[in-house]
Amino acid sequence: MIVEEMIADKTIPSTTILEQVRNLAQPLASGHYVEDWDTRSFEIGRLSDAYSLLAKENGHWANTTEVAAVRPLSVTASRYLDNESTTGQARLSMNFDFTLLDGEDYRVVSKAAARLDSAEKIVISSAAYALCYLDNPPELTLELMNLLYEEALHLEAIGRLLGIDHSEREWIPEDRLGNWELVRGCTSPLEYMVIEHCLYEGRGTIASAEGAYQLERAGVSSPVVAVMDAIARQEANHNISGFRWLRLLDRGRAEDDAALASTVRRFVEVEPVPDADGSDASLRKHFPFFLIQVYRDTGDFRLLKEHIVAASRNARRAGGPGIAPEELYRQSEKALAWCSVTA
């Protein structure tokens, strides 16, 4: 009997699905290469459908808007970015018939994507870690399952385009160990969503869209750019997810404010923020702190979502988040000053 039938039959209680998810995620949460990382990740993606059904049956997420926001993430992302006209595209291009790149395409993409596979690997392990060790609300569990699945799709796409043998590389290379330690230091869903999704994916939103822009400018063939575009759309939505959850988990108490400040500071201690020199890297790395300050000033999730979507679109069109540098740096500096004083 397949899982869906067993749920319909009510022979599987929800805890069993969560246990299944944790069993699948556990080896990935080690931060090391796992031979069947893809099967495990895709099974988690498949189970998310079953989990969603069961949660609805049990009366979770009676508010349909909330349900619509969590599933499926990639569709939500393309909706934000493309006014629904290309809703299916993000998914379709992940089903692209991947062929190993060669010649100039291979040279350009392998140079641009030299660190991209490890970026996907660490988020797979991070999501697995959050699923296994954090006490997440059910809706967040579902979202993390989808996130893990999408990151595995990204890794599969990159691996197949470049013919990477994952068993031959460090799953988490040395220069990402600080990131991994930050994740492993998280003890609450709020901390985790802030570090991974508000901050890291804030940078990733710009980096991935800029990546697609640069590949196109370098003359790489259009199917490859389409794959990068699909990844960039999903990264923007992962960033949006971070601020949505920050809004939901932050109860507005003094201790929530202090927790946010110390989490942001913990991030900055591991990932120092570069000077405000107007370079691409500087703008990209200040962008998440700009968002944090907008959150602090307004608490307006819709506004944050608009900023993220606009920045992603701009980075795709012209490189860079498209916010006036003085404004971006002013807000970012405020957030950085706040977290060092408050934390």
**By CB under 5 A, is residue 313 in contact with Fe ion?**
no
Least spacing, CB of residue 14 vs Fe ion, in Å: 26
DSSP 194-251: IIIIIIIHHHHHHHHHHHHHHHHHTT--HHHHHHHHHHHHHHHHHHHHHHHHHHHH--
Candidate segments 47-55, 90-98, 154-162, 213-221, binder of Fe ion by CB under 5 A: 154-162
Least spacing, CB of residue 269 vs Fe ion, in Å: 23
Least spacing, CB of residue 337 vs Fe ion, in Å: 28
Least spacing, CB of residue 151 vs Fe ion, in Å: 5
Least spacing, CB of residue 241 vs Fe ion, in Å: 9
Q: Which of 71, 154, 284, 285 binds Fe ion (CB under 5 A)?
A: 154
In sign, the C-alpha dihedral spanning 22, 250, 50, 121 is negative
**By CB under 5 A, is residue 235 in contact with Fe ion?**
yes
**By CB under 5 A, is residue 266 in contact with Fe ion?**
no
Alpha carbon separation from 263 to 132, 204, 246, 296, 343 (Å, rounded): 20, 19, 12, 14, 8
Helices (H), 250-323: 254-270, 280-298, 301-318
Query: Quick one: 7 or 202, whose CB is closer to Fe ion?
Result: 202
CA 179-194-232 angle, 5° bins: 75
Least spacing, CB of residue 251 vs Fe ion, in Å: 26
**By CB under 5 A, is residue 203 in contact with Fe ion?**
no
Number of residues that bind Fe ion (CB under 5 A): 5
**By CB under 5 A, is residue 286 in contact with Fe ion?**
no
**28: helix, strand or coil:** helix
Query: Quick one: 195 or 336, whose CB is closer to Fe ion?
Result: 195
Candidate segments 42-50, 104-112, 236-244, 255-263, binder of Fe ion by CB under 5 A: 236-244
CA 54 – CA 11 distance, rounded (Å): 11
Amino acid, single-letter form, for residue 254 = A
Query: Quick one: 40 or 238, whose CB is closer to Fe ion?
Result: 238
Query: Quick one: 105 or 120, whose CB is closer to Fe ion?
Result: 120
Query: Quick one: 3 or 71, whose CB is closer to Fe ion?
Result: 71
Unique residue bearing structure tokens 């370079």: 279
Q: Which of 105, 117, 143, 151 binds Fe ion (CB under 5 A)?
A: 151
Candidate segments 22-30, 73-81, 148-156, 211-219, binder of Fe ion by CB under 5 A: 148-156
DSSP 114-143: TTHHHHHHHHHHHHHHHHHHS---HHHHHH
Least spacing, CB of residue 71 vs Fe ion, in Å: 16
Candidate segments 210-218, 235-243, 251-259, 290-298, binder of Fe ion by CB under 5 A: 235-243
Q: Within a 10 A sphere around the Cβ of 99, how many other Cβ atoms? A: 11
Alpha carbon separation from 87 to 65, 76, 135, 145 (Å, rounded): 18, 8, 32, 21
Footprint on this chain of Fe ion (rule: CB under 5 A): 120, 151, 154, 235, 238
